[in-house]
Amino acid sequence: MISSEIISAFSAIAKEKNIERERLSEIIENVFTKLIEKKFGENANFDVIVNMEKGEIEIYHYRTVVEQVEDEINEISVEEAQEIEPDLEAGDPYVDIIDPGAFGRRNISHAKQILNQEIIKVERNAIYEEYKDKVGEVIIGDIHQIRRNAVYIHLGKAELKMPRSEQIRGERYRRGDDIKVYIKDAVMTPKGPEIIASRADNRFLEILFENEVPEIYDQTIEIVKIAREPGDRSKVIVRSNDKRIDAVGACVGIKGSRIQAIVRELNNEKIDVINASSHPEILITRALSPAKPYMLEIDEEKKEALAIFEDDDISIAIGKGGQNIRLASEVTGYEIDAQKRSEYEMTGIEQLYLEDIEGIKEHEWKILNGVGIETAEELMDASRTDLMKIDSMKDISIQEIEETVEKALEERKAQQEAEVEAAEEEEQEEQEAVDEIEETDEEQESDEEELGEELSEDELEDKKKTDQDEEDEAKQLKEVE
């Protein structure tokens, strides 16, 4: 088989695989280098030159002319060399030109197998290089295969792998369906390129926002932080760089059109869009939506917050499986703990000891102390059945003691609620007084500004002096009184 026929046969394979001519030339050189090594045991003194334009393959074998041949592959005797070139002497270089057809049809067939292997390598490298540069992009492919631990997606010649950990929980996939995914990573493995696709990554959600909200794409609005449990709920903090534009309103869109497009793409995942704030109490309050805390205690140094909720709202604040408060903690950067208002108001009150409760006799509370029960709370938490099994308990009435303790706890709770209510009223009165003072100050400043426009500098100075004299006089009268 002459070299042009070999190149033609190899070119047909390369054309089918869409391999460039220059790359094919390199592959053919590599293939024949391997054939040379297989036939001669080495390839150090051989050159393979492929001319794709002329359709020629030239193989040169460099040997040395010697008196006595010891290496039959790399040496040639003087007599044999002079038969071809009479002027050659011992020590001169000698070049053999090897016909590619000399390798035989069997070896050429083997060469085609090597060519296929080389082409597969080229294809794999091309796919890796292409998708290495696409990491961070969102693409649309079609679902090719669904397995237990991964979904495989075809996009051209590439196959993308979406592991279970990168899938949206509860989402159903069908072979042949188009799917939008985020290219998370591309690595080269011994088996070829592995391209990891994701729908669970936070960046996927961010890109969906960029595609649906032009203000985010042009950076008028920026996404500050995302916390997400794919398929269930996400919390997204956004900030507007233009005071004229409402960040949350722009993300939600008219009648929710923009946010709904994202929600549909994410299998109806709930998305809370939160306005950024430099004040931790405001940011945390917004992040805890849909629940609203009654009160917040924040430790900025430790990045911790205690959120107090009305008893009926605590389940909403925590969310299913603790999801809402967990996402709020992640998105704000504060470790948030939620507590019922009733429990919080009980905290800090001195424990109610049995010996201090009117109606419980001394020998009764001493018997209970003897089994480790000293406070009203400990008694109410204890099992009556277990207490009745203790011999010393037979001398007292557990039921009567429990009724007495319950009454004492109710009285203490009522007293506490009254104290809280009184404190709230006092706080409200103080706030009203502060507001009144601020309002008076603002009116005074406004009056002074108006007077300042009408009076000369000397007249204005005289007025200030008079006002100061009046204030001093009022203070003296107050001291006399």
- Whether 204 is in a domain gets the answer no
- CA 481, CA 195: separation in Å to the nearest integer? 87
Q: How many domains does the chain have?
A: 5
User: Tens-digit pLDDT profile for the chain (481 aa)?
Assistant: 445 666 676 667 666 666 677 777 888 888 888 888 888 888 888 998 888 777 778 889 999 999 988 888 889 999 888 888 888 889 999 998 887 777 767 776 777 777 777 778 888 888 898 899 999 999 999 999 999 899 999 998 899 999 999 999 889 999 999 999 999 999 999 888 999 999 999 999 999 999 999 999 999 999 999 999 999 999 999 999 998 999 999 999 999 999 999 999 999 999 999 999 999 999 999 999 999 998 999 999 999 999 999 989 999 999 988 999 999 999 999 999 999 888 777 654 556 788 888 888 888 888 888 888 888 878 888 877 777 777 777 777 888 888 888 888 888 778 877 876 776 677 677 667 656 665 665 455 455 445 444 445 555 555 555 555 545 544 544 444 3
Which domain, by its residues, includes 150? 134-198
**What's the one-letter identity of residue 90?**
A
Give the helix, strand, coil percentages of the chain, each rounded to 5.
55, 20, 25
Domain boundary among 128, 163, 184: 128
- CA 15, CA 11: separation in Å to the nearest integer? 6
- CA 72, CA 45: separation in Å to the nearest integer? 13
On whether the CB atoms of residues 194 and 215 are closer than 8 A, the answer is no
Residues 79 and 145 in one domain: no
- CA 224, CA 231: separation in Å to the nearest integer? 21
- Whether 368 is in a domain gets the answer yes
How many helices, marked H, and strands, marked E, lie in the chain? 17, 15
On whether the CB atoms of residues 155 and 181 are closer than 8 A, the answer is no
Strand blocks (E) in 192-232: 192-198, 221-229
Q: Are strands 192-198 and 158-163 parallel, antiparallel or unpaired?
A: parallel
Query: From residue 474, how far is each of 463, 468, 469 by CA, in Å?
Result: 17, 10, 9
- CA 238, CA 276: separation in Å to the nearest integer? 6
Domain boundary among 346, 364, 387: 346
Domain boundary among 328, 346, 364: 346
CA 6 from centre of chain: 53
Q: Find the CATH number of the domain harbouring 235.
A: 3.30.300.20
Residues 285 and 403 in one domain: no
Residues 16 and 113 in one domain: yes
- Whether 470 is in a domain gets the answer yes
Q: Are strands 270-275 and 233-240 parallel, antiparallel or unpaired?
A: parallel
- Whether 205 is in a domain gets the answer no
Q: Closest Cα partner for 238 from 275, 199, 200, 191?
A: 275
Q: Closest Cα partner for 17 from 149, 173, 157, 188?
A: 157
List phi, psi (to 5°) of 351: -65, 145
